[in-house]
Amino acid sequence: MPYVELALAGALLTAVVLVARPLLRQARRQRLMAVPFPEAWRRIVEKNVPLYGRLPQALQQELHGLIHIFLDEKRFEGCGGLEIDDTIRVTIAAQACMLLLNRKTTCFRKLRTILVYPDTYVAKTLSSDGRIAIDDHSVRLGESWQNGPVVLAWNSVTGGASNIADARNVVFHEFAHQLDQEDGVADGAPVLERRSAYTAWARVLGEEYAALQKSREARRRSVMSKYGATHPAEFFAVATETFFEKPRQMQKRHPELYEELRDYYRLDPLQWTARTRD
């Protein structure tokens, strides 16, 4: 075959692959959304992620599908001697996927690998080469790298998930960073569905970030962790934790911020709290 025809055939093949790959992935995801959720996995989620019990049934159903997709597409790696099992995979996937419910999602498209250490101490020791910038404040430990892995300490994951009202959840925190970084910049502004939404987002989050910084300087109490005052990206991650775990306080003290996050996540955790009190 002449060289030109070969080149044309190659270009055509590349084009077909480029078009076909997303379509195949989409079809695979659709199939996975419909796969029954194993009973053993349900028990793991019910035990380790109490917030799951508050979700309306339709969202629980959607979460099951998202967990299947997440576990199909992401690789878990145990570090510091930790052996990865279904409890670890499903517990982390369930919380990460709560951030994806109810909206168009690319399922953390830049993320391939989740590294899990047994505990904060081992993670810190093994990270002492300086390769890792750690989200390390009080009880949490984890980190999220742009185009790289999410790193979590298993004891922080279980500790963060078990108390659903302390606004401390390392998986929500690190995967909020992933959402923030999807546009290539960790600046506290994830990809919003409408261009027009960025103006309100920047105003509200900018004002709230400045207010949290002032609270920190004045040593005033705040609904959100003061760690959120260290950087706009940390503010979004901390606000996400607070949104899911302290929706009532956030809505009361920071109604505009609550509204921005409710519009972004297309979820209203306040309703879930109300639901459990019936």
CB of 106 to Zn ion, least distance (A): 21
Q: Cβ closer to Zn ion: 90 or 161?
A: 161
Q: Cβ closer to Zn ion: 144 or 155?
A: 144
Q: Which residue has the tokens 């009190």?
A: 277
Q: Cβ closer to Zn ion: 152 or 204?
A: 152
CB of 134 to Zn ion, least distance (A): 9
* DSSP helix/strand/coil, 151: strand
Report the distance separating Cα 161 and Cα 159, nearest Å. Answer: 6
The answer to whether 212 touches 222, Cβ cutoff 8 Å, is: yes
Q: Cβ closer to Zn ion: 41 or 236?
A: 236
DSSP 129: T
CB of 56 to Zn ion, least distance (A): 29
Q: Which residue has the tokens 């002449």?
A: 2
Report the distance separating Cα 153 and Cα 119, nearest Å. Answer: 5
CB of 234 to Zn ion, least distance (A): 5
Q: Give me the phi and psi of 79, to 5 degrees please.
A: -120, 160
Please tell me the number of Cα atoms within 13 Å of 264 on its side-chain side.
Answer: 28
> CA-CA distances (angstroms) from residue 76 to 32, 70, 247?
19, 11, 31
Length of the chain, please?
A: 278
25-54 residues in contact with Zn ion (CB under 5 A) are: none
Q: Cβ closer to Zn ion: 175 or 201?
A: 175
Site string for Zn ion, 129-148 (x = CB under 5 A): ------x-------------
> How many residues in the shown chain lie near Zn ion by CB under 5 A?
3
206-265 residues in contact with Zn ion (CB under 5 A) are: 234, 237
> Is 111 among the residues that bind Zn ion (CB under 5 A)?
no
Q: Cβ closer to Zn ion: 225 or 251?
A: 225
Closest residue to Zn ion, judged by C-beta, is 135
CB of 175 to Zn ion, least distance (A): 11
CB of 138 to Zn ion, least distance (A): 13
CB of 128 to Zn ion, least distance (A): 19
> CA-CA distances (angstroms) from residue 66 to 32, 49, 170?
8, 15, 19
For Cα atoms 150, 152, 153, give the angle at the middle one, nearest 5 degrees: 165
Q: Cβ closer to Zn ion: 189 or 237?
A: 237
Binding stretches for Zn ion (CB under 5 A): 135, 234, 237
